[in-house]
Structure 1
Amino acid sequence: MTDLTILAGKTAYQKIKDGGLSAQDIGAVIGASGAAKWLAIYGLDCAIFGHWLKDLERPVTLYGTSIGAWKLAAASRTDPIAAMEQLAEVYTQQRFTKKTSKNDVLVGANQIIESFLPAGSEQEIISNPNLRYSCGIMRSLGGFATDSTAGIVRGMAGGFMRNFAGRQYLKPYIERYVFHDPRSLPGLSASDGIACNHVALSEQNMQKVVLAAGSIPYMLPAVENIPGAPVGLYRDGGLLDYHPLMNFLPGDDRLALYPHFYDYFIPTWFDKKFKKRHLHHHIPELDNVVLLAPSRSFVEKLPYQRIPDRKDFKAMIHQYDDRVKFWNTTQQRSHQLGDQFMEAVISGKIRDHVQLIPAA
């Protein structure tokens, strides 16, 4: 187990130490924002959704933001491995130049979505017998409810200042919307004072919802007027819940599985550059969470000794072949994480390898 780090909150840790971990112990799977970083755990997700969670006694809730929402939508298809492979392949093969416009990016985003969620496939997701897909996006409010460049700059600057004082102060700028499987409401609750508004997914709104889940300000226009939801502009939910930290399973004794590319959490997009706001310790929301992440030694063995990043599109703009090779190599090696996870849960050795999330 040199490649995979397994961390658990207090309740989850004790449950694993006492009896290991089975698919029936899982009540939710969480997907974090992070764009190309997802490629570092692609193989882990393939193992989880393609094999481990195939036969369940009770449905499992899925909740993700940004790329986490995209990969979980792909994972909810009838053939999750094929859908995730399509997502990874088309995402990796994007090519940008200095002349790439916002409309070019939008066309590319739609092509990616069509690769893993083609028209007519929505029903597979909302009728999946084992999985209940949901995703988080945000509705812009106040001065942020605009798609003009100047307005977005002012809105993002205001968001930085408000978030610095506390996430609850984002409330005048952002509303959290959870688009969910129409068969059940996900039991999600947040402690930041920003409510979870619920809207049922349908064949009519699925494509728009998934696009909105990845609509990063500056990069993509907001998605307007999603069917079934209040009128407004909808954007990437990672602005508010970059690495979602919520009460995922209130009233449920099962655990939340969190395949992640980091062994820590960044609460909001606005916290990315403030390392003091990165969460490395236990909080109540992590009590029943099992965090799976690449180990430091795994990352050090990758090309460039790091995981892929969306910034590579710009940093390696003249090295397209090198970037694609780097990302493909990371994706291929990520199967080691899936292999080690499956071996740990099947053999029961996860009891020896799980670590308690440190106290504050």
Structure 2
Amino acid sequence: MASPITIRLGARARRRIAQEGVQAADVAIVPAAAGGPKGLILHGIDTWLFGEWLANAPRERRLIGASIGAWRMAASVLADPVAAHKRLAHHYIHQTYPAKVDAAYITRHVRGMLDEALGGHGSEVLRHPLHRLSVITARGIGPLAQTRGVRWREMAGFLLAAAGNAVARARLARAMERVIFHDARDPGDWLRERFDAFDTRFAALSEENLRAALLASGSIPLLLEAVTDIPGAPAGTYWDGGLVDYHLHLPYRRDAGLVLYPHFNDHIVPGWLDKSMPWRRARDEALDNVVLVAPSPSFLASLPNRKMPDRGDFKHYGQDHAARIRDWTFAVGESERMAEVLARWVEKPDLQQTSDF
């Protein structure tokens, strides 16, 4: 039977695993991509990873995410990560909307969904003894700093940003910058030296800004309202972190440990606007110490509609919420198969079952 997962390795990760196997104690960073409902397909791996495997090898680790990835990593830092991931999956699956809604309605709904997922335990994120959360957001600069909640200004600003990005990703840095909300106990030194065209600012997570940072990280332009003036952060307007860091193409090789990256794709796309540009997929030395685990094509073909859940399902199913909820629930249940195979692989890694970046 075909495997439900694919595994890709950076060169340094491959050498290390060949010599030492896969040790949970070697995992220093866990990234989590933006991608909305696609993150649901990683539910099984998330619960196994943080409920069992990594939990049995305690060490300081950096958990970093954008958008739904930030929400997944926040759940992973709570005192009971398995319960938190189950809450997140349940409330994400069961979100429903009328046929016609505006950004204010969706924002209220998403804010409530975030509160349900945190389950009143948000302050635990700041107290985990070893895991350090970082939440990536995008802050508007240039024209996008002047939107003031006016829809046409926002639309015009993003059209200009998209046009610039089509020419070169570096031009997107004229429209937005990266702001990382990080655990105050982890200054994020590995990210402070410039590694791409974007300015990166840092703000310490606190009880006053945790909820706003998580909401901002998932605030899709034009679909949700932007989050403004977050406490403890640079003044301004904040949107979905996936705009700048869709699949988190970060300088991982600066860390001596392994990077275990559960991902819904077998490749890394730098920014959300780069999705349709395959020539911008990351293949560089930054991924040297990365172990990327993704659903296999055969596994995806076994799911409803022969694919993982995605945002297009809201349109595909329309007001047939029951059908979408049924199919998303099925996909989440099937994700347990991915976790089972990954658990066997880390126990006895077969490098012939892997590929390179």
User: What TM-score, normalized by structure 2, do the two folds share?
Assistant: 0.95
Q: Give 1:356 deviation, angstroms.
A: 2.0
Residue type matched to 2:141 in 1? L
Q: Give 1:352 deviation, angstroms.
A: 4.3
Question: Corresponding residue for 1:142?
Answer: 142
Q: Give 1:350 deviation, angstroms.
A: 4.2
Retained in 1: the 8 A contact 2:249–2:269?
no
Encode CA deviations 1:53-105: one digit per residue, 9 max, x unaligned: 11335300011101100110011111111111111111111112222222221
Question: Corresponding residue for 2:41?
Answer: 40
Retained in 2: the 8 A contact 1:28–1:60?
yes
Name the SS of the counterpart of 1:134 in structure 2: strand
Q: Give 1:278 deviation, angstroms.
A: 3.6
| Structure 2: runs of 5 or more not aligned | none
Question: Corresponding residue for 2:237?
Answer: 233
Retained in 2: the 8 A contact 1:17–1:352?
no
For 1:37 and 1:63, how far apart are their aligned partners in 2?
17
User: What TM-score, normalized by structure 1, do the two folds share?
Assistant: 0.94
Map 1:16-27 → 2, pairs under 5 A: 16-27=17-28
Map 1:190-269 → 2, pairs under 5 A: 191-248=195-252, 250=254, 252-269=255-272
Retained in 2: the 8 A contact 1:20–1:351?
no
Residue type matched to 2:87 in 1? Q
Decide which moves more: 96-105 or 224-233.
96-105
Retained in 2: the 8 A contact 1:125–1:133?
yes
Decide which moves more: 6-15 or 50-59.
50-59
Decide which moves more: 310-319 or 30-39.
310-319
Map 1:157-196 → 2, pairs under 5 A: 157-186=159-188, 187-188=190-191, 191-196=195-200
Q: CA separation of 1:180/1:350 partners in 2, compared to 1, >3 Å: closer, same or farther?
A: farther
Q: Give 1:190 deviation, angstroms.
A: 5.3
Retained in 2: the 8 A contact 1:64–1:135?
yes
Question: Corresponding residue for 1:353?
Answer: 353
Q: CA separation of 1:136/1:17 partners in 2, compared to 1, >3 Å: closer, same or farther?
A: same
Question: Corresponding residue for 1:71?
Answer: 72
Q: Give 1:268 deviation, angstroms.
A: 0.8
Retained in 1: the 8 A contact 2:244–2:271?
yes
Question: Corresponding residue for 1:99?
Answer: 100
For 2:102 and 2:94, how far apart are their aligned partners in 1?
17
Q: Give 1:292 deviation, angstroms.
A: 0.4
For 1:190 and 1:26, how far apart are their aligned partners in 2?
24
Retained in 2: the 8 A contact 1:54–1:130?
no
For 2:310 and 2:284, how far apart are their aligned partners in 1?
27
For 2:200 and 2:339, how far apart are their aligned partners in 1?
32
For 1:177 and 1:249, how far apart are their aligned partners in 2?
21
Name the SS of the counterpart of 1:219 in structure 2: coil
For 2:175 and 2:334, how far apart are their aligned partners in 1?
40
For 1:48 and 1:196, how far apart are their aligned partners in 2?
29
Question: Corresponding residue for 2:343?
Answer: 342
Retained in 2: the 8 A contact 1:137–1:177?
yes
1:89 aligns with 2:96: no
For 1:272 and 1:148, how far apart are their aligned partners in 2?
27
Q: CA separation of 1:257/1:190 partners in 2, compared to 1, >3 Å: closer, same or farther?
A: farther
Encode CA deviations 1:306-339: one digit per residue, 9 max, x unaligned: 1111121122113211111110000000011111
Decide which moves more: 181-190 or 326-335.
181-190
Retained in 2: the 8 A contact 1:3–1:295?
yes
For 2:222 and 2:5, how far apart are their aligned partners in 1?
34
Retained in 2: the 8 A contact 1:122–1:202?
no
Residue type matched to 1:103 in 2? A
Q: Give 1:164 deviation, angstroms.
A: 1.7
Retained in 2: the 8 A contact 1:56–1:130?
no
Question: Corresponding residue for 2:3?
Answer: 2
Retained in 1: the 8 A contact 2:142–2:175?
yes
Q: CA separation of 1:196/1:248 partners in 2, compared to 1, >3 Å: closer, same or farther?
A: farther
State the superposition RMSD in angstroms: 1.5
Retained in 2: the 8 A contact 1:190–1:246?
no
Give aligned pairs, total.
Answer: 352
- Compare the two structures and name the one with the higher helix fraction: 2
Q: Give 1:195 deviation, angstroms.
A: 2.6
For 1:352 and 1:244, how far apart are their aligned partners in 2?
26
Pick aligned residue for 1:270 from 260, 269, 273: 273
Q: Give 1:304 deviation, angstroms.
A: 1.0
Identity of aligned residues (%): 35
For 2:110 and 2:194, how far apart are their aligned partners in 1?
29
